[in-house]
Structure 1
Amino acid sequence: MAIAQDKTDNFDDLLTCTICLETYKGPKYLPCLHTFCKTCINTYILSTVNKGKTGTTFKCPICRQDVLMGESPGNPETWAEKLPGNHFVASMMDRQEIRKSEKMCDSCKVNNKSEKARSLCTVCEEAFCSSCETYHKSFKISAKHPIISLEDVGTNKETVIVSSLIFCEEHSGEIIKAYCVDHSKPICTLCATLSHRKCDDVITIEKAVSGIKKSQKAMEMSAELKDTSKQLSDLIRDRKKHLTDFEKEVHAILTKVSTIKDNIIEHLNKIEGQIKDEIIKSKKETVLKLSEESTKLESLKRTVDNWIAIYNTCLHHGSELQCLLEMNRINENKEKFGDAFNKGICGIKNMSMHLESNDIVENFAKRVPIIGKVKLVETKTSCPKLSLGKKINFHTGNINVIKCIDLNAESVFLSGLFMKDEFIFTNSQSNEVLKFSHNGDILAKLKLSGKPFDIDLINGTKAAVSSSSNTISIINTQDMTLCRSFATTYPVHGFCHVNGEFILASSPTLTWINATTGVQIEQATTIGDNFLLYAKNRSDYICADGSNTVSRTVNNTKVFSYTNEKLSNARGISVDYDENFYICAHTSGNIHQITKDGKLIRIIPAESIGIKQPWVIRFKKNSNQFFVTCYQTGKIVVCEII
């Protein structure tokens, strides 16, 4: 069925490089599927990768995901060349050129001629003019190549494939000819004979693509992508609304701070006015009293001064009789004057004014150093979880066994990792780290000096292994070689690697150490039995907290403790992508599934998946698959919840 013209022609955005904003030239794509011109991504890599240091990754310019260039990436100048070409984009570019009648004959270009192309060979991916098409059909090697009309491609009169040659990403120049169903991966002949020779289900690429556009899987994928896009749109809208609300909260707080300041100033002005009025009133009353005292004393002084003037005049100019009479008069008034003087003098007091301020006022800056504290409160939202796969009900889903790997060992500390297409397991009985294919075939072994206990991933190619000799060994998971080892000086059984640190578990102690130097950072204690643990980050972890209890601790606070009489000797702990916890009960022979807040969902008997004493459980990232190891029998059972 042909696709409508107006829909197929509207793909200009797909053909535009987001770096140079022009049509792609040599389109290369990253694992995140973002595509760039070969020259553009090369310039970006060279500008962002630190040339002074050896690195193996760079970040996508758009989504900032790490792009791993392998264990031996070589010079960053060669990285762009190693990236796979985007054949779909190249095909769409050809279609665009054809639609715009701009496609020129590729054979003529070689001879420095310019002829408009009329047809296209879908095998050779070359456009031909009428003459070159005739020559192309005349050669035995290309006589049967499908030739399509560019006019049909441009008008979409029929369903045509502009480019039918897709090259292998692992083997340059090799064409995709088969499809490995086991790995869900298109492969070339070399892939089929080298890395996929043991795969059970390898089919031709023609069979794999037959009816793919109308298949149920294609429809489900389209629906899932649209649903995910809608969820992301809802989340973006929610985030933008939250940003607006947050800005309003900040504005409200700033307004409140200003209001508090204004209220404080208003109150200070008010009490300042009150104290000033009191001071002025006290001053007025005191000044009046002091003035009256001075007036009385001045009156007494004038009386005395008058007596002095009269008496001196009598002495110099009066008769003896006049002097006698004035002396008698003064003596007669002296007693009355003395009473008035004593009365006036006794009531005199020195006046002074003091301000007795309270302690809050005297030390206002110290007593009121701040208006308040600004706190950022993080609250978990109820945003939906995004999933590009089949929606699984982890609470009620059935558990199916996919495969069983038997190490034929007894009483073995057996831990492991999910890799991309392989498994890595520790075997304490043989002192080995083992690498298996997805089918359970042994691929490689690494012998260690001590008994390996637990293993955790550091990055895409390196893992750390704890051992009985209190040693952490760093290994390369690609070629299974030992990179380095260092003694922890702290007891260690199980551990987790989080943000450059190891959290070591050895009952009843948890120890945080630097993953590079081994220097202790922090320690905590439990009630006991904490052999293994799961950590979301350095301050959010769950481990055994007694013989039949596990506790989750967040920021040094226990958020829950789960206790069950059927939970005996908790060991391995893992989490699915819905944040449900799974706890291996070693002695009681079951697996406890609990919610993220410690509520029991169900108890899974170990015998139901073919083991006796579950030791370690690990979920594959963003998947419904997990494996459980058995301490008693050395079996590893890979399961899925459906």
Structure 2
Amino acid sequence: MASKFESSIQRGCDFIHDFSCSPCEENGFNTEAHHYCTQCTKYYCQNCVSKHDVLYQKHALFGRKDVKKWEAAPGAVDALESCGMHPGEALKLVCADHDQLCCHVCVAVDHRQCSKIHPIPDVAKGIHRNIEFQQIPKKIAELEKQFELMKEARMKNTTSLKKTRTAISDELKTIRKKINEILDKIEKATLQDLDGIIAKLEKNIKKDIKTCDQMTIELQNMIAAFQTKSKSSESKSYIAYRKSRDIISQANDHLHGISTIECYNVTFQANNLIEELLSSIKTFGAIEEQTVTIKQRKDPLSDPNHVFSVAEYKEYNVKMSDDKYPCNIHGVCEMPSGEFVIADGNNSKVKLLDKEYRVLDHCDVPGNPFDVCHIDGNEVAVCVNSELHFINASKGKLVTTRKLSFTHDSTAAAHHGGQLYISSGTALYVYTMSGQKVKMLYEGKSGERMVEKCAISNDGKTIYIINYFKHQLIKLDNNGNKLALLTDPDMRYPTGVHVTPAGHVFVCCELFNTVLQVDNDGKKKMTTVVRKEDGLNSLQDLFFSSRTSSLIVGGVKDTLLVIKLN
């Protein structure tokens, strides 16, 4: 035998009403209400309202034209009991299949097939004795307090952001002032050159004018003397003749010397390099959004001085069938997709590897690629002799798109903030993406391989370089000032340096085949991660994958060594 509840669902399931008749609903029927009684605080259909009127002739009723008064009436469904899906309908039921509160409309529309639907009064029995129910006010109060604290923190954050904006604005003004001072000096020097040339030419003009005046006077005196003496004795006339001839000759010489220069003039050829450099720079610096998250426990990947230990080693063969020589991996970088690009110096190839370090594709380069760095998106840059080759790695293929040429060797490359950092082996330069040299950031003082490789911190404020022959790791600021210098017995002939996004610093070395972890300050070795006995050979470069928490190490070997770190 079906329950009263089940029959009510069957008899009223096809109709959705904003207000249902209260007496009908109590008897298991879903009937649309047309009247509301403010004193009974109940809804009535046409049939039930007639019975109501017989019993309560003096009660005030609102019809459908006053339905807005129904919603505001004391008997209307309050916000707590109102169905979120069907406003105006009261929550009367619980669907245990979906663990969801329902009104009659919810059941009729969305829960026809559900078998475990119970009236709320049945489920709610004993709720006041439920410990979890009793703790609700406390939990709500705690959450309210947390939201108040969060609001207060956000308001303070707003104030701090305004202060940050002011501070950065002041820094921009300082930069602008320095640039203006530099431009003022350039302008002053140019004007000094101009004034010097103008003064020299004016001096020449004054000299010519003075010569013209002197010769005019002498010629006038001579013509007067000649006219007077020519009427005297022949001897005097002869003397006047001879002197006149000398003056005329002298005057012709002066006139010829002066007339060879039609006029003095000054031209100006603007140095377009200044405008080109300024035009290539879009902003005074990189402005980056930073989000400081609250962590329940310290995440080692976010602590720049967390000391890693080795979990396991694995080797992956990267030799191709047409490689003529053993692979010599000079450069490694990871793509956003999780694929890797490596530079094989011995075989003059750039190779694309999948996430399992299998070779997907390669492209040949005209020389030994000495380093590779990720630029943006699917683009990498590869150092080849005195050139930088840009290669697109997409859909499992490598395609060379363009190249830049330098007047020096290109042995290492890094990218940050829309600028390229290129090592020549002896110095570190900064270039625009179009190949315009911005400045020489740092220069070694004693021969080759003083700047073997370079790495830049995630915020762009710190640069690490390695000096191969002096066995040094050098830390610079972004103006090229030396901040720290590290030497260590395990760091012999360093060939690769890498900085993770969190600031962990790793260095690989060729002689002892060691990989060192260095503290973020660049002042001390924290640990020697691996040594020669681990099977490495003539290490050349390394890269830390935050995705897998692994060091990918390359050297003179046909395999990459992947070191999983704890």
Q: Which TM-score band applies after superposition, normalised by the shorter structure?
A: 0.3 to 0.5
User: Under a length normalisation based on structure 2, what TM-score does the superposition of the two structures give?
Assistant: 0.46
Q: Which has the higher contact order (CA 8 A, sep 6+)?
A: 2
User: Under a length normalisation based on structure 1, what TM-score does the superposition of the two structures give?
Assistant: 0.41
